[in-house]
Structure 1
Amino acid sequence: MLFSLFGAVESGIIYAIMALGVYLTFRILDFPDLTVDGSFVTGAGVAAISISHGVSPLIATLFAVIAGFIAGSITGLLHTKGKVNALLSGILMMIALYSINLRIMGQPTVPIDSDSTLFSQLRGLWPAGIDDFFNGIFTTLGAERAPATWVILFFMLIVTLIIKFLTDYFLKTEVGLALRATGDNKRMIRSLSANTDSLIILGVGLSNALVALSGALIAQINGFADVQMGIGMIVIGLASVIIGEALFGKKTIAIATIAVIGGAIVYRIVVTLALRVDFLEAGDMKLITAFIVVIALVAPKIVQARKEKKRRIAKRATLGGLGKGA
């Protein structure tokens, strides 16, 4: 059980990067971008094919980020310059990316040599004593087995937090504030002579760059990139955003972004625990995801409705008491 939860936290931290990208479009820009399902695979495919051709894994990951940014920018161009509906432009790009990803990869699945990934290089710099210490704690807690290495967890935690703080900083800059204003009220920001088209293209591009980065890292951990691995990524990203906001709030940008990371981790833990139930199978993962999203959407509204009902009852009781006193 503990080993399974470790894996859930590890993958949740990586998927949190993708969730931050989804947060930029859906919450900041109010742009329903479905490019995510395609750009996730684009990042994975570009990284895998680059590494298989002898490119440094760090450079290959950078190529994946650039490819994701280009894919997102094209979606933004379709919407702003082509005047295509936001939802439809994302769908069109997602469909186009399926064929583009096959072209990039050359085959449905591209294997990655486990010794040629970014994480394999980091393992060479990782002190073995750290693994022994934490594995000892795992054994003490009664875990069935301990992770071979903790380098992925710690490295990805640092990378994800750096991206979180960079996102916070960016959204407080002049361009970031204009981006937020575009999502809140496009007409208002246009009246201030801001170029909303460029802001939308930039925002969607940055979002898909993060999604592609997540895909590239997932491919290097799994040891392969598959053309089908992006199916449902947008739902997972939305689930992470919605769960995070429901559990941790969204009063400020800093709280919202840390909530997204927490939501991604909680989502992976819930899915892992759900799949351990006897009557559920691995093929039920999409159903579990949909169920989690429904609960995350409905539960806060039910709680809010109950609070509002109690508030009204209390107000009526107070007014009734004042009426009797008069």
Structure 2
Amino acid sequence: MIIALEIGLLYAVMALGVYLTYRVLDFPDLTVDGSFTTGAATSAILLVNGVAIPFAMIAGVVAGMIAGAVTGLLHVWGKINPLLAGILTQIALYSINLRIMGNKANVPLLRQETLFSELRADRLLGTWFSVAVFAVVVLVIGALVYWFLGTSYGVAMRATGDNELMAQSQGINTGTTKIVGLMLSNGLVALCGTLVAQYQGFSDISMGIGLIVAGLASVIVGQAIFGMTAVWQAVTAAALGSVIYRGVIQIALNNGFNPNDMKLISAVLVVLALVLPAWGPLRRLRVQRRRAKAIPEGAAA
């Protein structure tokens, strides 16, 4: 389960990126499957060619942001449906990612110095120490996302997702806001790709396939359990949802499920997370809790 926690925390960075588009911008972005691999491929090929780790990771993030910008431009300037814009970028990225990796489907990093080399050499990976380190990294990134959403531009982005027409009436350039939001989202997804590639020791052309389902599962499961009343709560829920999702996957594997069934299990988790909150008993329970909280406040008043 420690390995599941590590992986869940790594993918929490991706979940935060999906949260920005899916919840904040209300934009169903399918670029994620491609931009994740773009970040991994870019950083991996640069590491193999002797580029320093920080610069390789920054290049991976920038490549992911460019992918997000392309999707945004297709939607805003090309007037293409959000889903179709993401699909088009995702399809194009498959060929681009192959080119980045030198027309090879796999780039190994086992003999390269990576971000996790010292932890691996000291046998600290797979321990509670590495879990704590990963948790701190996610906490910092989550805090930055929360801070950004509290800025004037972040509020404009949230307004664009809530009600685009109202945001336009307030003088917000919603087109630019969408493009910037998609860039930030896919930058985070690409950052996750750089981390996962270094953690597992290779970059693979198929490592991002179906990742949007995992991202949605993390966001939806987390917010179904922890709620999303406040921004900090929604950001925390997205990150914790990734840990819960990976934990459920690990439990399924430990109980004899076939690894080939993981995509099916992911889809089932998303369906349950979407359906259960609307289930009668759970809905009545939430209403009772809200009433219970409102009574003391009314009594105090």
Partner of 2:9: 13
Conserved? CA contact 2:3–2:126, under 8 Å: no
CA contact (8 A) 1:123 1:151 kept: no
Larger of the two Rg values belongs to structure: 1
Structure 1 residues 249 and 114, CA, compared in 2 at 3 Å: closer, same or farther? farther
2:280, 2:57 → 1: CA distance?
43
Give the counterpart letter for 2:274 in structure 1.
L
> What do the CA deviations read for 1:83-127 (whole angstroms, capped 9, x no partner)?
111110000000000000001011100011355101115667x7x
Once the two structures are superposed, the pairs formed by residues 108-187 of structure 1 within 5 Å of their partners are 108-121=105-118, 152-187=130-165
Distance (Å, rounded) in 2 between the aligned partners of 1:149 and 1:248 = 27
Query: Structure 2 counterpart of 1:42, which letter?
Result: T
Secondary structure of residue in 1 paired with 2:78: coil
Q: Partner letter of residue 180 of structure 1? A: R
* Count, aligned residues: 286
Name the SS of the counterpart of 1:118 in structure 2.
Answer: coil
- 1:277 positional shift: 1.9
Q: 1:193 to 1:156 in 2, by over 3 A?
A: same
| SS at 2:30 equivalent | coil
Aligned match of 2:181: 203
1:135 aligned partner: none
- The question of 1:289 aligning with 2:266 is answered yes
Q: Which runs of 4+ in 1 moved over 6 A?
A: none
Whether the 8 Å contact between 2:213 and 2:266 is mirrored in structure 1 is: yes
CA distance in 1, matches of 2:275, 2:151: 34
Residues 276 and 282, structure 2, Cα contact 8 Å, conserved in 1: no
Deviation for aligned residue 1:42:
0.2
What residue ranges of structure 2 are gaps of 5+ in the alignment? 289-301
Q: Look up the match of 2:234.
A: 256
Is 1:271 aligned to 2:267, yes or no? no
Q: Which runs of 5+ in 1 are unaligned?
A: 132-146, 312-326
Q: Is the 1:119–1:151 contact (alpha carbons within 8 Å) kept by the matching residues of 2? A: no
Q: Which residue of 1 aligns with 2:292?
A: none
The answer to whether the 8 Å contact 2:2/2:127 transfers is: no
- The 3-state SS of whatever aligns with 1:225 is strand
Question: 2: distance between equivalents of 1:214 and 1:78?
Answer: 24
How far 1:306 sits from its partner (Å)? 5.7
Once superposed, what is the RMSD of the aligned Cα atoms?
1.9
Where does 1:1-326 land on structure 2 (aligned, <5 Å)? 5-106=1-102, 107-121=104-118, 152-278=130-256, 280-303=257-280, 307=284
Distance change in 2, residues 1:267/1:148 (3 Å): closer
TM-score (norm 1): 0.84
The residue type equivalent to 2:107 in the other structure is: V
> Structure 1 residues 256, 148: CA separation in 2 closer, same or farther (over 3 Å shift)?
closer
Shift in CA distance, 197/290, structure 1 to aligned 2, threshold 3 Å: same
Q: Structure 1 residues 303 and 241 mapped into 2: Cα distance closer, same or farther (>3 Å)? A: farther
| TM-score (structure 2 length as normaliser) | 0.90
Aligned-partner residue type, residue 178 of structure 2: I
Identity of aligned residues (%): 51
Q: CA deviation at 1:155?
A: 2.7
